[in-house]
Structure 1
């Protein structure tokens, strides 16, 4: 039973060699022309490969260096297969020989494409890792996983293409791989989701190691970006460990990228303030902000009538991103506001409630007026 396929393959090989030898003997001129065409194609491909290597540097951190690494993975077998295919199409060799060359070309193209794709993907990851020391540390463990995944995918696709070209029925194989892949994906769904989230963080760079971020109700400095979790040092000192998927599901504010800080101060003055004093207050607030270093005035406006105060809002920007500078500027502006209101004889309002008494005729009597009259008597 096992000898039948071997015998059939041996008989097919003998037939191919026999037809090829008869064609070479009977059509020697055509065979010589085809050989010259194949040799010319091979030389041209070598010259193209040599020129590409001369034009592209070996620097791994540049795009041209990445292209050079891909070019260096070109196999001589691939060039020979392309040259043979061109030679067989330039002449009329036996059909068996042409089929053999076509199959050789498909195999060579599948292997060469797998090598190019693998080198391109791994080169992109390597280039990303070499862009900064932080990314190199973070991508150190991810690179190994990426290499395994890329190798499995590209070589599996190449093997399926080669087997299909050789006449093997790959339908059952593809179906089995699909079912197995679904089972593995469902079993490791959490792991893969965190892995892809880690790659998204590393490649999209919403934040990096050393950045201070705010998410949910927590704020801290990123210490490590792993394959499954990200470790964050909270402002209160403890280390927070967040799953990458859970972290990206939230709105993350990168405080490290702040260019300037906005400060809003709201306060109220008593209702006994005169209209002239109220109109002069926005200008006085603007002068206070403009007198401070690293501060840019935005607005100072009357915002409404509160339950026990006339409310104002002062908005300005601190043009330095440092948090300590913002806190110092906010404190200086606050103290200056208190001092200026005292100079203008303006009083801050605080929650108060006044009870009015009704006279026998229904008129409301202000209790403060009664107290004033009692004091005079």
Structure 2
């Protein structure tokens, strides 16, 4: 059979109402499309694996390659078949159905790409921010991933239903009403959920931080979806709602590098000016002798109610509370010895009441003299 005869046969022979030539062209187009898409996917996968093996920092281009490497092989086959079908002169409603299948394939693939992109971005966030608090970051990353994927696939589903002719207006309205009802029913839970996300993103504290909130002081043990658990100084575990926790002022001691200390003491008013000046110098020498302290100031601050009031300020170069207490004890003992050497006592709080005069009604009456013993033999 020569070329002319083969060409004539291809145009004359029909299958399912279509010529063999058009079917052959459609098949070749489908095969070429499949091969090209497969090669592109393989190239993207190779680039992603090479970058992962080199441990390079992921940029936008690298993330795009990794997203494209997640292309579904089944959808590639479907796309190739649809390209071939587009080369045919299909009867009846088949062209519209092919268009719907195209939309379905593209929507599903976009959903898969979006899911992969979400996973990569959330994983990148978790690795970048999870060095100090992996439990907290893992929980927030899971919540963000779940929320983004739910929103993505809900959008894809609604788009597919709208494309096939389903009226989604009433469906979306019913979803909105149902969502409002559910939100009202679980309002407190959703509040704690969003508070947990806010804690994960804003990081007012992390697991292991020592915080003071309200009347609770302790170390953060766990940050959950609804509650945060704190190991209090007194030994018990305090469970607080995330929403209530964020409504209060939180003192976080994690970033404390040094501690500023202010304390006062008093000496009696009988202290001479020379001794009062020597006390300030003695306090300065005591604090400067400590390697873990930095002297700031020591002044005769005021004339108090019960004596001369001194104010002393110094910096503890270690954030540990026990270090501060040990240092304060040493300073107090040294201060006692210094005052003993100066023969100056501490002022003792006391109150003296001076009565200038009393009203006549309050003056004590002089009691009458006691009656003497009655003579023997005398009767009253």
TM-score (norm: length of structure 2): 0.70
Change (3 A) 1:120 1:214: farther
CA distance in structure 1 between the aligned counterparts of 2:31 and 2:134, rounded to whole angstroms:
52
Task: Answer with 258-267 or 224-233: which moved more.
Answer: 224-233
What's the counterpart of residue 323 of structure 2? 325
What's the counterpart of residue 49 of structure 1? 44
Residues 150-299 of structure 1 aligned to structure 2 (within 5 Å): 150-299=148-297
Question: Does the 8 Å contact 1:35/1:87 carry over to 2?
Answer: yes
Change (3 A) 1:53 1:312: same
What's the counterpart of residue 111 of structure 1? 108
Residues 294-305 of structure 1 aligned to structure 2 (within 5 Å): 294-305=292-303
Change (3 A) 1:265 1:198: same
Report the Cα offset of residue 273 of structure 1: 3.1
Change (3 A) 1:116 1:343: farther
Residues 135-150 of structure 1 aligned to structure 2 (within 5 Å): 135-136=134-135, 149-150=147-148
Change (3 A) 1:106 1:243: same
Unaligned runs of 5+ in 2: 1-15, 358-380
Report the Cα offset of residue 182 of structure 1: 1.1
TM-score (norm: length of structure 1): 0.70
Question: Does the 8 Å contact 1:212/1:255 carry over to 2?
Answer: yes
Report the Cα offset of residue 173 of structure 1: 1.3
CA distance in structure 1 between the aligned counterparts of 2:268 and 2:148, rounded to whole angstroms:
71
What's the counterpart of residue 363 of structure 1? none
Aligned length: 337
CA distance in structure 2 between the aligned counterparts of 1:222 and 1:82, rounded to whole angstroms:
53
CA distance in structure 2 between the aligned counterparts of 1:85 and 1:286, rounded to whole angstroms:
88
CA distance in structure 2 between the aligned counterparts of 1:43 and 1:265, rounded to whole angstroms:
76
CA distance in structure 1 between the aligned counterparts of 2:132 and 2:293, rounded to whole angstroms:
35
Cα-to-partner distance string for 1:310-345 (whole Å, 9 max, x where unaligned): 322111111112221111011111222222233234
Indicate the structure with greater helix content: 1
Question: SS in structure 1 opposite 2:52?
Answer: coil
What's the counterpart of residue 340 of structure 1? 338
Report the Cα offset of residue 61 of structure 1: 12
Question: Does the 8 Å contact 2:287/2:314 carry over to 1?
Answer: yes
Over aligned residue pairs, what C-alpha RMSD do you find? 4.5
Question: Does the 8 Å contact 1:56/1:68 carry over to 2?
Answer: no
Question: Does the 8 Å contact 1:163/1:170 carry over to 2?
Answer: yes
CA distance in structure 2 between the aligned counterparts of 1:106 and 1:62, rounded to whole angstroms:
35
Cα-to-partner distance string for 1:112-140 (whole Å, 9 max, x where unaligned): 3322333344445556666459624x577
Question: Does the 8 Å contact 1:209/1:222 carry over to 2?
Answer: yes
Question: Does the 8 Å contact 2:45/2:65 carry over to 1?
Answer: no
